[in-house]
Amino acid sequence: MSLAAVVQMLLSGLLMGLIYALVAAGLSLIFGLMDVVNFAHGELLMLAMYATFFLWRGTGIEPLLLVPVVAILLFGVGMVIYRTLIARALGVRANRGMVQIFITFGLAIFLQGAAQFAFGGDFRSIGHSLLANRTVAFAGVYLPLPQAAAGVVCLLAFAALLLIARTEFGRALEATREDREAVALLGIDRDRIFALGWGLGAASVGVAGAMLAGFYYTSPDVGANFALIAYVTVALGGFGSLAGALLAGVLIGEVEAVTAQLFDPSLKQVGVLGVYLLVLLVRPRGLFGTL
Amino acid sequence: MLQLEGVSAAYGGMAALHAMSLQVAKGEIIAVLGANGAGKSTLLKAIAGQVERRGAIRFDGADITRLPAHRIARLGINLVPEGRRLFPRLSVEANLRLGAYARRGEAGRFAPLDQVFALFPRLRERLAQRAETLSGGEQQMLAIGRGLMTQPRLLMLDEPSQGLMPKLVDDIFDAIRRIRDLGMTVLLVEQRLVEALAIADRAYVVQTGRIVLAGAASDIAADGAVRRAYLGM
Ligand SMILES: Nc1ncnc2c1ncn2[C@@H]1O[C@H](COP(=O)(O)OP(=O)(O)O)[C@@H](O)[C@H]1O
Ligand SMILES: [Mg+2]
């Protein structure tokens, strides 16, 4: 393998890994805050991708400019999911954990079905934009611009999440996650914090989806694969850790790229799950986990 | 200021308080005494809205029996809970400031910091440290300080002296007296009967979820028969 091919492989692993990382960050944020695994996380990604596609097709606006719009849209979706479904699930008296699993699992199936019904099963892609199908080449290494932009935007989104964590609201988020009852004693409405946490988690996946739509086919079941990787990423990085999600996402992107290159593209998930099993055996709380 | 009438409380159907009635007037220090498992913590949790409850709880005339915990806190009742319940991974400063979070938008919401530092100068030296790195005494100071940051009119303390060395116990009781002198009303649950009765105006004795005795703290402290019968001292 030439040096250029190695760099190419690592580069594509890095760029995909940054998307994985941001999707996982949203999942991890929600899980860390309230111990709820969002099984509909992949479907939020799918919604973000469709939103980007249809906004682009309807208005012709450059998809990059749509990223904040989609992020805000998904923020709203996350808040609504919390207020209508999750808050109720938290209020049940028996089998609370099961109810949460079934509710988000049911939501995933519902959203997939609804997308199939509303948009059909066709693969959608953004055909022309500032970056679509463009690459820059340097010393035999090709850098596809939509993926590169996605990587940069994902890093910016991580920076934004880290900044938010340092605000007063971020501290309230952390406090709620550490002790949701103590927070209420201080007059903090934890229901509101939870709703905003869901909004923030969904907005993260919204940014990832908006960028992903620029180079990946959008279909009703696109979320499943990304969700699986997100669960592995969160487990690998450590539940609730932002830095863990970032490093684990990139690591998984690289493992995937290397497996695809050295063995066969159809085996890339085997490599990812192999690493996951290894981590479970060696360090069950993940690389950065505190739980 | 605070009235309870026939207040019962339960954990998932298991009754822990039975038809309790009590009053707290503005500016008082009220001690709630009783053996382990008597229901003292449950009483404070019922007032703070942390446990299922029935009956009537009024604060400054308003019925708060059905309000959620955060709304009760915003009315000016703060519970410094058993075991302190700090945010261990946040700094001392962040813990304190979170006490003022619910007052976002109000001018001077961090003003009580000066009071807190006057009461507990040691917290000022520890501002940047994580709460979990504090000693037991400092953690209790932080828990009370965080409560004061909410600017409560009624401060409820659940066994603030628990697990502290004797010297620190004196400091905490001293601080409680000074907090009352700042104009706050204090409802104090304690296992340290002598110290609690020494600073309290009145006291209630709780046994198996019922109030079995109420009176002036000095009378209870002086009555040997009462002390032996109810307090095992
Ligand atoms: N979280 C809980 N779940 C179930 N029962 C509880 C809980 N907390 C306290 N109890 C029960 O309620 C009763 C009163 O407890 P508590 O108010 O903590 O007593 P105290 O503070 O006086 O030691 C005890 O019988 C105790 O076992
Ligand atoms: Mg107790």
For the domain made up of A3-282, the CATH class stated in words is mainly alpha
The reported pLDDT for the residue numbered A32 is 85
**Looking at residues B52-65, what average pLDDT do you find?**
93
Pick the residue from chain B with its C-alpha nearest to A187. B70
Spatial CA neighbour of B72 closest among A216, A185, A75: A185
Please tell me whether residue A215 adopts helix, strand or coil conformation: coil
In the block, tokens 């035999």 appear at A140
**Cβ–Cβ gap B50/A181 under 8 Å:** yes
DSSP E strands, chain B: 2-11, 14-24, 29-33, 52-59, 62-63, 77-80, 154-158, 185-189, 202-207, 210-216
**Looking at residues B185-200, what average pLDDT do you find?**
92
Residue A183 pLDDT grade (very low, low, confident, very high; cuts 50, 70, 90): very high
**Cβ–Cβ gap B89/A178 under 8 Å:** yes
**Looking at residues A58-81, what average pLDDT do you find?**
95
**Looking at residues A113-133, what average pLDDT do you find?**
89
User: Does any CB of chain A come closer than 8 Å to the CB of residue B99?
Assistant: yes
Q: What would the pLDDT profile of A18-67 be if each residue is shown by its tens digit?
A: 999 999 999 999 988 888 889 999 999 999 999 999 999 999 899 999 99
Q: What would the pLDDT profile of A51-62 be if each residue is shown by its tens digit?
A: 999 999 999 899
**Cβ–Cβ gap B73/A187 under 8 Å:** yes
Pocket-testing residue among B7, B8, B11, B50, ligand 1, by greatest number of atoms within 8 A of Cβ: B11
Question: B52 C-alpha vs ligand 1 centroid, how far in Å?
Answer: 13
Partners of A174 on chain B (C-beta within 8 Å) are 87, 89-90
Query: Is domain B2-231 given the CATH code 2.70.98.60 in the classification?
Result: no
Residues with CB under 6 A from ligand 1: B 11, 14, 16, 34, 36-42
Q: What would the pLDDT profile of B113-165 be if each residue is shown by its tens digit?
A: 999 999 999 999 999 999 999 999 999 999 999 999 999 999 999 999 998 88
The reported pLDDT for the residue numbered A240 is 76
**Looking at residues B200-224, what average pLDDT do you find?**
89
Q: What would the pLDDT profile of B75-91 be if each residue is shown by its tens digit?
A: 999 999 999 999 999 99
The reported pLDDT for the residue numbered B233 is 59
Q: What would the pLDDT profile of A225-258 be if each residue is shown by its tens digit?
A: 899 999 999 988 887 788 889 999 999 999 999 9
What is chain A's mean pLDDT, rounded?
A: 91
Q: Closest to B150 (Cβ–Cβ): which among A174, A178, A186?
A: A186
CB neighbourhood size of B104 (10 A)? 11
Q: Whole-angstrom Cα distance, residue A223 to residue A183?
A: 34
Residue B230 pLDDT grade (very low, low, confident, very high; cuts 50, 70, 90): low
Q: What would the pLDDT profile of A92-121 be if each residue is shown by its tens digit?
A: 878 878 888 899 999 999 999 999 999 988
> Is a pLDDT exceeding 90 seen at residue B58?
yes
Question: B148 C-alpha vs ligand 2 centroid, how far in Å?
Answer: 21
Q: Which long-range contacts (CB under 8 A, 24 or more apart) does A250-255 make?
A: A250/A13, A250/A14, A250/A17, A250/A18, A250/A20, A250/A21, A251/A17, A251/A275, A252/A17, A252/A20, A253/A13, A253/A14, A253/A15, A253/A16, A253/A17, A253/A18, A253/A19, A253/A20, A253/A21, A254/A10, A254/A13, A254/A14, A254/A17, A255/A13
**Looking at residues B187-206, what average pLDDT do you find?**
92
Q: Where are the domains of chain A?
A: 3-282
Question: B73 C-alpha vs ligand 2 centroid, how far in Å?
Answer: 20
Please tell me whether residue A79 adopts helix, strand or coil conformation: helix
Please tell me whether residue B100 adopts helix, strand or coil conformation: coil
Pick the residue from chain A with its C-alpha nearest to B76. A187
Q: Whole-angstrom Cα distance, residue A206 to residue A67?
A: 8
Residue A279 pLDDT grade (very low, low, confident, very high; cuts 50, 70, 90): confident
CB B86 within 8 A of CB B163: no
